Amino acid sequence: MKRFLLIAVMGAITMTLSAQEQGDFSVGGTIGVTGGSASLKTSTTTNDQTNTTNSSAPEATGFKLAPMFNYFVIDNLQLSAGLSYQMDKTFKTTDANNKNLFNFSHTALFVIGAHYYVPVIKGSLYYTPGIEFGFGGGSNVSQNGNGSSTTTKIPFAFAFNANLGTVEFKPIDCLGITLNVLDFTITTVTNRREMAQANTVYKSTYTTFLAGLNYGISAGVKYYF
């Protein structure tokens, strides 16, 4: 009987250690700031008339927070799902007092993604390129000066990220530390605005397509179980 109990206990310990070593499940998140350059295409539709403009400008300074749940479907291939909040700050103009005014964009997305783990130092360091898709909405806040601002709703936002510069370091089996320094991003944001003037309501739809390289630093922590 004692021998049977000892075998059962050792078997349970072995199963637990195996599950931790495989790292099939993990929870965690990332936090970081980004910047860069991008090409911008904006389409504006007012009363069924559409105008399109193209420009190139520095990318917005951004802050991102993204809690995620991750699962390895096969060795080295991780699928993930979670939420992402991002705040982008772009320069708008200066007011009469030479004070800088900014536009702030707040977006919340549901994100799904996949990353492939390429061993650099087996068991400790991995290069983890991947892709992510996000769907959601948010709002834009534009500073007008004199303490006033204009808020516009974002009913729909779509984002695609290719994580090109992502690595993960595992100091111990149950802990992963991630670092990302380069993304290729495609974002589509739709804004709608209504303005009443001279007893007439003007409805405008703004669709912005943004593509470019984002550089910066984002770091995260994962717990494997």
Q: What's the pLDDT tens digit per position in 29-43?
A: 888 776 655 555 555
CATH code of the domain covering residue 212: 2.40.160
Give the pLDDT of residue 79. Answer: 94
Residue 4 within a domain: no
Q: Please tell me the distance from the alpha carbon of residue 184 to that of residue 212, in angstroms, as a whole number.
A: 6
Give the pLDDT of residue 1. Answer: 43
Q: Please tell me the distance from the alpha carbon of residue 153 to that of residue 106, in angstroms, as a whole number.
A: 10
Residue 134 within a domain: yes
Q: Please tell me the distance from the alpha carbon of residue 156 to that of residue 1, in angstroms, as a whole number.
A: 64
- This prediction's pTM: 0.67
For 83, the domain range is 24-224
Is the separation of the CB atoms in 38 and 211 below 8 Å?
Answer: yes
Residue 15 within a domain: no
Q: What's the pLDDT tens digit per position in 186-200?
A: 888 777 666 555 555
Q: Is 20 exposed, middle or buried (0-12, 13-18, 19+ CB in 10 A)?
A: middle
Other Cβ atoms closer than 10 A to 69: 15
Residue 2 within a domain: no
Residue 5 within a domain: no
Give the pLDDT of residue 109. Answer: 95
* Distances in whole angstroms, Cα of residue 132 to Cα of each of 93, 124, 146: 33, 24, 40
Count how many domains the chain has.
1
Residue 176 within a domain: yes
Q: How far apart are the first and last CA of the chain?
A: 31
Q: Please tell me the distance from the alpha carbon of residue 152 to that of residue 137, in angstroms, as a whole number.
A: 11
Residue 216 within a domain: yes
Least confidently predicted of 23-37, 44-58, 84-98: 44-58
60's CB contacts (< 8 A; 6+ apart) are 35, 88, 89, 90, 105
